[in-house]
Amino acid sequence: MTGENSETRTRNIRFSAAGVYIQGVKTALASRMAYRGDFIMSMLIMMIVEFGGPVITLIIYNNGASFPGWNQYEVLLLQGIFLLSRGIAFPFFMGIVWNTIGRVREGTFDLLLIKPRSILLMTVVTGFDSEDLGKLIGGILVFRYALKNLPVQPASHWVSFLILFVFSLILMFAFALFMAGLGIVWVGNYRIYDIFMSVIDFGLYPKSIFTKTFQSILTYIIPVSLLASYPASALLGDLDQSVFMALLSSVVFLLLGFMFYFKMVRNYTSAGG
């Protein structure tokens, strides 16, 4: 009886969302390891690519220029947070975008639809991108480098930072839902990423450098400022009241993302696989 219970428990864990996800990660890693050299090289490149923004910042400051109100390490901290957020989002759930686009084009999206789990879970699970772990390493390195050159922050700053960082990831997920939804109707168009990358580029720099109109758009409409600018301000103890509107906006953005994604899934018409 006890043995049966333990077996059921193991089976439940294995087939839970987390269990299925872990299995997907293992499979993705195993298949990518078939070309280890290329995998390591790609991961390394992903990491180096992430240094692009911070290197530009260093060059700007080394040329005697600066962003008003921000010193070099504060900007690097902001960019480190941005890269951390991207470094978590891209390998762990942003893969739903290329996965959806690729599968819709090939016709294999149908295979996921007939699985006995949510289509969203299945696209996340099969979209784990191991190469993008390089982005995460890059983000950690920039974040650490900036932190080491800034004064130690009190625990309260860290708590508010962590809360805002969670919202940063929520926002990333909302973006992923919009892009994946678009990928269902805009067949085979990987350039959807370009739209996303161009928009989130605003998040790589302090909010204060933009005009008031753009600041409002980036806070209330598409809260890109929440990706890094607000979490960095929280960590540096310089948060303003507009953050609450940004948080609300991110939740609305996520709900809209879910609605959009599932509407697109409902509209999906298979052409066979």
Partner 1 sequence: MQGTAVKKGNSPPRVFKSVITATFKEHMAYRSRMAVSVFAQPVYFLVNYFIWQAIFQIRDTVSGFTFGQMLSYFAVSSLVGFLNWDDSGNVLPMLVQTGGFITFQLRPVSHIYYSFFQKVGHRIMAFLIEMLPVVCFYIMLGINLVPAEPFWVLISLFLSFVLSFLINYTIGTFAFWFVRTDGVRRAVYLFTSICSGAFLPLNLFPYSFQKLLFYLPFQFIAYVPVRVFIGQYELAGITMSIPQIVFLQAVMVAVMFLVNRALWYMGIKHFTGVGA
Which residues ranging from 82 to 101 are in contact with partner 1 (CB under 8 A)?
none
Shortest approach of partner 1 to residue 194 CB, angstroms?
A: 4
16 to 35: interface string for partner 1, x by CB under 8 A: -------------------x
Query: Which letter does DSSP use for residue 210 in this model?
Result: S
Among 12, 29, 30, 38, interactor with partner 1 by CB under 8 A? 38
42 interacts with partner 1 by CB under 8 A: yes
Output 48 or 255, the one with its CB closest to partner 1: 48
Interface positions, 200-219, toward partner 1 (CB under 8 A): 201-202, 204-205, 209-211, 214
- Give the phi and the psi of residue 271 in degrees, each rounded to 5: -115, 25
Task: Kindly tell me which of 94 and 224 has the beta carbon lying closer to partner 1.
Answer: 224
Considering the complex, state which of residue 67 and residue 145 has its C-beta at the smaller distance from partner 1: 67
The Cα–Cα gap between 74 and 76 comes to 5
Cβ atoms within 10 Å of 21's Cβ, excluding its own: 16
Q: Which CB atom, from 201 or from 240, has the smaller least distance to partner 1?
A: 201
- Buried-exposed string 250-267: b where 16+ CB fall within 10 A, e elsewhere: beebbeebeebbeebbee
CB of 42 to partner 1, least distance (A): 4
Site for partner 1 in 167-196 (CB under 8 A): 186, 188-192, 194-195
Q: How far is CA 265 from CA 62, 123, 203, 206, 245, in A?
A: 49, 12, 29, 36, 30
User: Count of residues binding partner 1 (CB under 8 A)?
Assistant: 42
Side-chain half-sphere of 263: how many Cα atoms within 13 Å? 9
Report the interface residues with partner 1, using CB under 8 A.
35, 37-42, 44-46, 48-49, 52, 56, 59-60, 62-68, 186, 188-192, 194-195, 197-199, 201-202, 204-205, 209-211, 214
